[in-house]
Chains A and B, each alone.
Chain A
Amino acid sequence: MSTKKSIFQLLTEKPWEKDQIEADNEHQGKTLSLTKQKLGLRTIMAASTVLFSLFIVAYSDRMLVSDWRNMPEPWLLWLNTGILFLSSLVLHQTTKYAKKEIYEKTKNCLYFVGFLAYAFLIGQLIVWYQLMSTGYYATSNVANAFFYLFTTIHGLHIIGGIYFWGKTTSKFIKRSLKKEDINNLIDICAVYWHFLLAVWLVLFGLMLSS
């Protein structure tokens, strides 16, 4: 691939000059040395980051109003955080197994990740149930509403991840892909899970600290 260029070098090229024409004719037509799936994931993560940042801005703005009443954090949330952390860790290990071609362990790890993802979602639902049965409804205070909103949006992202995890796992079991393609997919799952862990830590930290 061509040598890496900063965006400023790139934008100051003079495409009509002789030297540049010669260099450009060598170009392979790809800007970044990433697979299209990896770049796609990064694009989605960028858009999601903007989405969550705007939620956080809205949260910080709204909590300054005097009607704000903090919500208790059930201990189960800590357990859920632990589950998410564990699944991130397991996926990290999965990528290593897949690269070393230890496929039996890779498969088990993938199953375990799926189990953890579902466990996390069920855990979040139980937290909802606990809060609602003790009277913390979305309508009773806006702090509660933000909690339900954050967990829903984060949960939807997890569900998206589960969909992609399912496709990856089924392709892995069928062995229908080449080695580098399956590694690519598992890498993507891992990065996405790390991203969702980071998002959750920020959201959870924000709700703890306020």
Chain B
Amino acid sequence: MSDEYEHKLEAKSDYVGDASSVSTPDIDSVPKAELPDQELYHSHSWWTTYVFSQDAKYIGIQYALTAIGTGLLGLVLSWLMRIQLAFPGLGWLEPTAYYQFVTMHGMIMVVYLLTALFLGGFGNLLIPLMCGARDMAFPYVNMLSYWAFVVAVLVLLASFFVPGGPTGAGWTLYPPQAITAGTPGYNGGIILMLISLILFVAGFTMGGLNYIITVLQLRARGMTLMRLPLTIWGIFTATVLAMFAFPALLVGCLMMTLDSLLGTSFFMPAMVSLGEKLTYEGGSPILFQHLFWFFGHPEVYIVALPAFGIVSDLLSVHSRKTIFGYRMMVWAIVGIGALSFFVWAHHMYVSGMNPWFGFFFATTTLIIAVPTAIKVYNWILTLWRGNIQLSLPMLFSLGFIVTFLNGGLTGLFLGNVTVDVPLSDTYFVVAHFHMVMGIAPILVIFGAIYHWYPLITGRMMNETLGKIHFWITFIGSYAIYFPMHYQGFVGVPRRYFEIYDSPYIDTSTLLLNKFITIAVLIVGAAQLLFLYNLFASARLGKKSEKNPWKANSLEWQTPQMPPEHGNWGKELPKVYRWPYDFSVPGAKEDYIPQNQPPSEIIGAKVEKT
């Protein structure tokens, strides 16, 4: 690596030889802008500034707060479920309520928290700033996207208040049971759930349109695609995946809505319910499973890829080192994105399928481990001999690497048909997917919030509170999910609302259930600490200097911090390098921002007086 830097510096000092006088701007010159500056919408009232805002930064914050608020509900639901599991004798929850909470917890966390927070929240905040744009390509459509999301959330929450309550079909909403008598919310809650998902997809498509076009077309001068921070690569690829995957969810939701409301038979087979023959005939429940998982598996990577991208940038900034293998990281992101459309049926091994079909999907599933492993190696190699700062974002990033590795390894077990079949209906799967797409992305989200908080508020979050929050969350998550792996191995089935002492269930399970529940309550309560820190620091936090982490990427280089409407003042930034020039030998500082002209970084010679 150092050879390349020397080579580069040599090249630059050549220039200095030519530029005899201080004021010669030759090496800084970039061609004149050929593209006109973006026209901006300027708000005139409080309502259009803070509520119906068309500024991507505000929309990002709105998205993030709405998603976190909904996520808190998901967290409380998990408390209620765990109390039921630990103390089945109390009669804490009815079976109906338990299944409803499982369903709502899953759907809220996957779609309304993680997807909305990564793409809607961080996407809106970071894409224009990191690309060097004034705003998104279509600010009005962007605003519509957020409000469609709000309506989707409200419809989802409304399902708690309809007769019969929310649906209890599991977050996968498999027909026929999802819309058949006997399942909680089969004729009220499920409809609201489906409508809410349809609204979410519509809203997301509007947002995704913005993210794609802004990244492709509205970057600053000099910002080639291969000079983009990996955060943007992650969010961009995830958005492309979402644009292809969400239609599958939409098709499934629309057809199931018709099955339920009109009585068509897209997914509903002929069946007898409560002793009566239903009017349905010939529908195919497996078809829904294919549609759902054609969306559902890419969805895992819609959440994971932005996390990959963000964590790469956090690791690089906080270890003051170039990301190891930038191109390989980009290829891995794109490769994982492409492969993610060819693995969906590994969620359906127990639904029964042609053995060759299972063989194909087991193979593709294992192949996807290759680019993922490359990423993990590259993160570790980025840390290797880096100047590691154990700041909050770094702690959470380290936590992510370990947790993701852990969840990924159990994924290798479950990707094989023969191993999956006995484990599929046990707590092993619960532990696996919570590790890999619950805890791991959440740790990145925390890291990212601690990292970019000064950019939003101009203040730092409290470090001590943050460290307490980190250690409780990190150790607590392992206290919760490690025992679940063991429970899975001894065959404790998932989806049961109470597990009693019986010849089939080991006593250790009951003890572990209590232990896990206590850990859940503690970890959940620790998030209150985070929330307090989040809101209190906006007023009480230490004032942040400009660019507090000494990062290179453009979002920290705005004339004002926090950035104002239009981001860049009069002139758009010009980009001269990629965002990973940390600890460059011979440079005065250990970082060189992307928009710093070459003339300013060659020692004292070109210092302006």
Residue ranges of A at the interface with B (Cβ–Cβ < 8 Å): 1, 10-18, 21, 24-32, 34, 36, 39-40, 43-44, 46-48, 50-51, 54-55, 58, 61-62, 65-68, 138-139, 142, 145, 149, 153
Q: Closest Cβ of chain A: how far from B342's Cβ, in Å? A: 15
Residue of A nearest to B242 (CB): A47
Q: Is residue B291 contacting chain A, with contact meaning CB distance below 8 A?
A: yes
A39 with B222, Cβ < 8 A, contacts A29-B132, A62-B287 known: no
Contact in complex: A27, B334 (CB < 8 Å): no
A28 with B216, Cβ < 8 A, contacts A18-B11, A67-B281 known: no
Contact for A36 among B213, B258, B294, CB less than 8 A: B213
Q: Is residue B31 contacting chain A, with contact meaning CB distance below 8 A?
A: yes
- The answer for the CA separation of A111 and B282 in the assembled complex, in Å, is 46
Q: Closest Cβ of chain A: how far from B78's Cβ, in Å? A: 33
- The answer for the CA separation of A67 and B266 in the assembled complex, in Å, is 11
- The answer for the CA separation of A28 and B246 in the assembled complex, in Å, is 33
Contact in complex: A68, B282 (CB < 8 Å): yes
A27 with B222, Cβ < 8 A, contacts A16-B578, A65-B282 known: yes
- The answer for the CA separation of A24 and B219 in the assembled complex, in Å, is 13
Q: Is residue B608 contacting chain A, with contact meaning CB distance below 8 A?
A: no
Set of chain A residues within 8 Å of B250, measured between Cβ atoms: 51
Set of chain A residues within 8 Å of B265, measured between Cβ atoms: 67, 142, 145
Q: Is residue B421 contacting chain A, with contact meaning CB distance below 8 A?
A: no
Contact in complex: A43, B212 (CB < 8 Å): yes
A-B contact count (CB 8 A): 156
Q: Is residue B576 contacting chain A, with contact meaning CB distance below 8 A?
A: yes
Contact in complex: B222, A29 (CB < 8 Å): yes
Q: List 7 A-B contacts (CB under 8 A).
A: A14-B226, A15-B227, A28-B35, A58-B266, A58-B287, A138-B262, A142-B264
In the complex, besides A50-B248, A54-B247, 18 extra interface pairs with C-beta distance below 8 angstroms are: A1-B34, A11-B330, A18-B7, A21-B8, A24-B222, A27-B223, A28-B35, A29-B35, A29-B220, A36-B218, A43-B243, A44-B205, A46-B244, A50-B244, A54-B251, A58-B266, A67-B282, A138-B264
Residue of B nearest to A68 (CB): B282
Contact in complex: B217, A24 (CB < 8 Å): no
Task: Classify chain B: how many residues form its interface, as a range.
Answer: 35 or more
Set of chain B residues within 8 Å of A24, measured between Cβ atoms: 222, 224, 226-227, 575
Contact in complex: B209, A43 (CB < 8 Å): yes
- The answer for the CA separation of A29 and B222 in the assembled complex, in Å, is 6
Contact in complex: B251, A40 (CB < 8 Å): no
Contact in complex: A65, B216 (CB < 8 Å): no
Q: Convert B210-243 into 0s and 1s, putting 1 for each residue whose CB lies closer than 8 angstroms to a CB of A.
A: 0011001111111111110000000000000001
Set of chain A residues within 8 Å of B138, measured between Cβ atoms: 36, 40
- The answer for the CA separation of A210 and B137 in the assembled complex, in Å, is 43
Q: Is residue B605 contacting chain A, with contact meaning CB distance below 8 A?
A: no
Set of chain B residues within 8 Å of A62, measured between Cβ atoms: 266, 282-284, 287
Q: Is residue B30 contacting chain A, with contact meaning CB distance below 8 A?
A: yes
- The answer for the CA separation of A160 and B335 in the assembled complex, in Å, is 34
- The answer for the CA separation of A15 and B35 in the assembled complex, in Å, is 23
Q: Is residue B453 contacting chain A, with contact meaning CB distance below 8 A?
A: no
Residue of A nearest to B220 (CB): A29
Q: Closest Cβ of chain B: how far from A40's Cβ, in Å? A: 6
A36 with B137, Cβ < 8 A, contacts A28-B31, A47-B247, A145-B265 known: yes
- The answer for the CA separation of A125 and B283 in the assembled complex, in Å, is 27
Contact in complex: A28, B284 (CB < 8 Å): no
Q: Closest Cβ of chain A: how far from B249's Cβ, in Å? A: 10
Nearest 6 CB-CB pairs, A to B?
A67-B282, A51-B247, A29-B219, A145-B264, A65-B282, A13-B226
Set of chain B residues within 8 Å of A17, measured between Cβ atoms: 4, 8
Q: Is residue B279 contacting chain A, with contact meaning CB distance below 8 A?
A: yes
Residue of A nearest to B4 (CB): A16
Contact in complex: B263, A139 (CB < 8 Å): yes
Contact in complex: A27, B209 (CB < 8 Å): no
A61 with B282, Cβ < 8 A, contacts A11-B226, A36-B213, A54-B248 known: no
Contact in complex: B255, A40 (CB < 8 Å): no
Contact in complex: B282, A66 (CB < 8 Å): yes
Residue of A nearest to B31 (CB): A26
A61 with B327, Cβ < 8 A, contacts A21-B576, A31-B217, A142-B265 known: no
Contact for B216 among A21, A32, A61, CB less than 8 A: A32
Q: Is residue B500 contacting chain A, with contact meaning CB distance below 8 A?
A: no
Q: Convert B179-191 into 0s and 1s, putting 1 for each residue whose CB lies closer than 8 angstroms to a CB of A.
A: 0000000000000
Q: Is residue B331 contacting chain A, with contact meaning CB distance below 8 A?
A: yes
Set of chain B residues within 8 Å of A27, measured between Cβ atoms: 221-224
A29 with B218, Cβ < 8 A, contacts A40-B137, A139-B264, A142-B282 known: yes
Set of chain B residues within 8 Å of A10, measured between Cβ atoms: 225-226
Contact for B327 among A14, A21, A26, A47, CB less than 8 A: A14
Set of chain B residues within 8 Å of A39, measured between Cβ atoms: 212-213, 216-217
Q: Is residue B326 contacting chain A, with contact meaning CB distance below 8 A?
A: yes
- The answer for the CA separation of A1 and B287 in the assembled complex, in Å, is 47
Contact in complex: B223, A142 (CB < 8 Å): no
Q: Is residue B577 contacting chain A, with contact meaning CB distance below 8 A?
A: yes
